[in-house]
């Protein structure tokens, strides 16, 4: 449908959208299972990249003509224009498609690592380490100086090692495989996959307080594990402005699995729902 062009208020910028990322929350919003208190119908699309064409009062970090990426203020990035409060200038070596895949994965991964206090000298286990968020978690944790052990399917073991993690496979015996690498267990565990393994992660990390899940709300309540939610805990959007240094140093790379035209958004959502994406899915709009 046609909607009035949005215009930025104080602290906001407007971008001409060139690419928009597809995240797991987009499909849940479309289905009505993640409403944030709003009624259907809803727009989708948080991750976005494009060219700044209007700025609101008080904006000093970007200028008209800058390439910017960030989070769409109204979850409506799959459109021609988007308003951004949380944004950063796109690192010079990245194009619009690559930049559009970053924001939500970066924020989510950084929030989990911050809450667990992951830093140099610690050992982190990541359950679900090869999707957009998992790939970000691994690389950001490695950049902080942590030892990372990650779980993924058999086909992704080499990819996971390329990101800097020690790789193990999912399924029966996963705990034993992790303990073969870390006999004393791990300092922290981050559950990205939400596939019902929180008891095993608590066992590996020694205490529920050393485990965070990004995907298993029911399990978090049952096993007294913290469910990380940016709306409740507060977002970690500081990650947007910090990632450029790692990108330009060749220490962070988030692959784009597939791109789609805007008319292919339904196919992109179906692929996202299938749960076997390595990296990110991105709509190319402009």
CA-wise closest residue to 241 among 35, 103, 40, 41:
103
In a domain, 167, yes or no: yes
Together in a domain, 116 and 196:
yes
Q: Is the pLDDT of residue 252 over 70?
A: yes
Predicted confidence (pLDDT) per residue in 180-234, tens digit = 999 999 999 999 999 999 999 999 999 999 999 999 999 999 999 999 998 899 9
Query: Across all residues in the chain, what is the average pLDDT?
Result: 92
Together in a domain, 161 and 216:
yes
Determine which of 27-41, 62-76, 106-120 has the lowest per-residue pLDDT on average: 27-41
CA dist., res. 92 & res. 79, Å (int): 24
CB 84 within 8 A of CB 217: no
Three-state secondary-structure class, residue 167: strand
Q: Which of 19-28, 73-82, 157-166 has the highest mean pLDDT?
A: 157-166
Q: Is the pLDDT of residue 168 over 60?
A: yes
- For the stretch 221-224, contacts whose Cβ atoms lie closer than 8 Å and that sit 24 or more positions apart, written own/partner, are 222/198, 223/198, 223/199
Number of domains in the chain: 2
Domain span holding position 67: 13-102+254-284
The per-residue pLDDT for 24 is 67
CB 255 within 8 A of CB 21: no
Q: Quick one: CA torsion of 86, 89, 251, 235, rounded to 10 degrees?
A: 0
The per-residue pLDDT for 33 is 58
Under the banding of pLDDT at 50, 70 and 90, the label for residue 282 is very high
CA dist., res. 170 & res. 151, Å (int): 6
The per-residue pLDDT for 280 is 84
Q: What is the CATH number of the domain that holds 215?
A: 3.90.180.10
Cβ burial of 214 (10 Å; 0-12, 13-18, 19+) is buried
CB 103 within 8 A of CB 69: yes
Predicted confidence (pLDDT) per residue in 39-82, tens digit = 666 677 789 999 999 999 999 999 999 999 999 998 888 889 99
- Phi, psi of 165, deg, nearest 5: -100, 160
Contacts of 129 (CB under 8 A, 6+ apart): 135, 137, 138, 148, 150, 151, 152, 160, 163, 165, 167, 192
Q: Is the pLDDT of residue 276 over 80?
A: no
Place of tokens 């990426």: 69
Q: Residue 231: how many CB atoms within 10 A of its CB?
A: 8
Together in a domain, 71 and 47:
yes
∠ CA 22-190-133, nearest 5°, is: 20
- Phi, psi of 265, deg, nearest 5: -65, -35
Together in a domain, 228 and 116:
yes
Together in a domain, 129 and 185:
yes
Q: What is the mean pLDDT of residues 253-282?
A: 84
Q: Is the pLDDT of residue 136 over 80?
A: yes
In a domain, 145, yes or no: yes
Q: Is the pLDDT of residue 239 over 90?
A: yes
Together in a domain, 62 and 150:
no
Contacts of 176 (CB under 8 A, 6+ apart): none
The per-residue pLDDT for 200 is 97
The DSSP bridge partners found for residue 213 are 191, 227
Overall pTM > 0.85: yes
Q: What is the mean pLDDT of residues 128-154?
A: 95
């Amino acid at each position: 449908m046609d909607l009035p062009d949005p215009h930025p208020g104080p602290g906001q910028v407007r971008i001409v959208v060139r690419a928009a990322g597809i995240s797991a929350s987009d499909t849940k919003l479309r289905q009505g299972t993640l409403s944030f208190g709003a009624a259907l119908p809803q727009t989708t699309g948080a991750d976005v990249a494009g060219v700044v064409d209007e700025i609101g009062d008080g904006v000093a970090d970007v200028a008209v003509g800058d390439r910017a990426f960030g989070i769409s203020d109204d979850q409506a990035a799959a459109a021609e224009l988007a308003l951004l409060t949380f944004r950063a200038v796109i690192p010079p070596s990245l194009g619009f498609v690559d930049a559009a895949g970053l924001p939500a994965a970066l924020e989510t991964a950084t929030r989990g690592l911050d809450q667990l206090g992951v830093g140099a000298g610690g050992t982190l286990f990541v359950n679900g380490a090869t999707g957009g968020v998992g790939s970000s978690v691994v690389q950001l944790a490695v950049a902080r100086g942590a030892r990372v052990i990650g779980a993924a399917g058999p086909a992704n073991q080499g990819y996971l090692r390329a990101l800097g993690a020690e790789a193990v496979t999912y399924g029966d015996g996963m705990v034993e495989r992790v303990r073969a690498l870390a006999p004393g267990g791990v300092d922290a565990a981050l559950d990205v996959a939400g596939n019902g393994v929180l008891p095993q992660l608590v066992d590996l990390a020694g205490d529920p307080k050393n485990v965070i899940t990004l995907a298993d709300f029911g399990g978090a309540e049952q096993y007294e594990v913290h469910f990380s939610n940016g709306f409740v805990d507060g977002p970690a959007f500081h990650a947007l402005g910090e990632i450029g240094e790692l990108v330009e140093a060749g220490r962070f790379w988030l692959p784009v699995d597939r791109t789609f035209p805007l008319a292919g958004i339904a196919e992109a959502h179906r692929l996202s729902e299938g749960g076997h994406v390595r990296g990110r899915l991105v709509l190319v709009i402009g």
